[in-house]
Amino acid sequence: MNYYIHHRDDVLSTNKAQELTEKLELRGHTCTQDNPEIIITIGGDGTMLHAIHNYVDILDKVKFVGIHTGTLGFFTDYTSEELDMFVDDFDGDYHIFSHALIESRCYGADDQLRHQVYALNESRVENIIQTQTMKVSINDEYLEEFRGNGLCVSGQIGSTAYNRSIGGAIIDDTLQALQLTEISGIHHRHYRSLNSPLVLNPKAHITFESDSFEGAMLIYDHLNINLHQTKKIDIFFSSKHVNFIRFNDNSYYMRLRSLF
C-alpha cells in the first residue's frame, strides 16, 4: 500500500515515524508523497487536523489513521508503544468512517464571496476585542440577535473539542448534527439570546450577519481568518468528507471513558 507519514516535529514523533517507515517497508508498503492512499499521522489530535487541512483538496483520494505520541487523542487509535500491533493491523481489514467537513463562506458588503474554508471540528466567530453583535438565521429564517464574544458551530466529531469546553453537548457518534453554541453570550433585561446549545439537523444552514465584524476572527479548527469587511457568514455541512480508517473496534464510549 502507498502511504505517507505526517508527524509532529518533536524528537519522539520523528523517531517513531522513522521506525514505522522501516517496519512498513519490510512488509512491502511504500512511503511516498505522490498519491499516497493512506496518511498516517504521528503526534496528537492537532497533528491529524494539520494533515487533513494539508490534503483538503484531495480528501476523496486519501484516508487517515493516527498514532499518538502525547496524551491520548480522539483521532488516534494507537499509542507509539503499539507500532508492531499497528504494522500487523495495517495488513488486515479496516472500516472506513466518513465525516463531512463544515464549510464556511464569508461575504463582503457587495455580496462577493471573500473566503471559503473547511473545518472538521468546528468553525467559530469569536471577537475578544469588543462585543460582537450578529443576527442569526437558520435556513434563512430569523432566530435571534446575539451579543457576546461569539458563536461556535461544531459537528459530531468536534462536539468533544472546543464545543465541550463552552458547555455544548457531546453528540454520540451514531448521530450527525450541527451544534450552535454561544461563547460568552450577554444576557440581561435588554439583550437575550437562546443561551443554550442548539442541536440542528445536519442539513441546516446557519447564517451570521452583522454591520461590523471588526476585531472578529473566523476560527476553523487550528486556523483563522480576519473577518474585517465581512458582512455575512454561511455555515453548513459540506459535500467534502474526510475518511478515517479504523482497524480496531474501540467503541465511542471507550474513547470517552479514556479521554475524559
For binding to ligand NAD (CB under 6 A), which residues are involved? 44-46, 49, 73-74, 121-122, 157-158, 160-162, 165, 221-222
**CA angle at 85 for the pair 84 and 88, rounded to the nearest 5°:** 85
Which residues does residue 181 pair with via DSSP β-bridges, in sequence order?
152
Residue nearest ligand NAD, CB atom distance: 46
Q: How far is the CB of 236 from ligand NAD (least distance, A)?
A: 18
Q: What number of H helices and E strands is found in the chain?
A: 5, 16
Q: How far is the CB of 30 from ligand NAD (least distance, A)?
A: 29
Q: How far is the CB of 173 from ligand NAD (least distance, A)?
A: 11
Nearer to ligand NAD by Cβ, of 149 and 160: the residue is 160
Distance, CA of 157 to CA of 223 (rounded, Å): 17
Distance, CA of 16 to CA of 217 (rounded, Å): 36
Nearer to ligand NAD by Cβ, of 45 and 89: the residue is 45
Q: The C-alpha cell of 110 is what?
A: 457587495
Nearer to ligand NAD by Cβ, of 162 and 244: the residue is 162
Q: Which of 10, 34, 45, 140 is catalytic?
A: 45
Nearer to ligand NAD by Cβ, of 29 and 148: the residue is 148
Contacts for 15 with CB less than 8 Å, ≥ 6 apart: none
CA 143 centroid distance within chain:
25
Distance, CA of 119 to CA of 162 (rounded, Å): 13
Q: How far is the CB of 159 from ligand NAD (least distance, A)?
A: 8
Instruction: For residue 9, indicate whether it is catalytic.
Output: no
Residue with cell 450527525: 176
Backbone angles phi, psi at 23, to 5 degrees: -65, -40
Q: How far is the CB of 122 from ligand NAD (least distance, A)?
A: 6
Nearer to ligand NAD by Cβ, of 41 and 210: the residue is 41
Which residues does residue 233 pair with via DSSP β-bridges, in sequence order?
106, 208
> Active-site residue numbers?
45
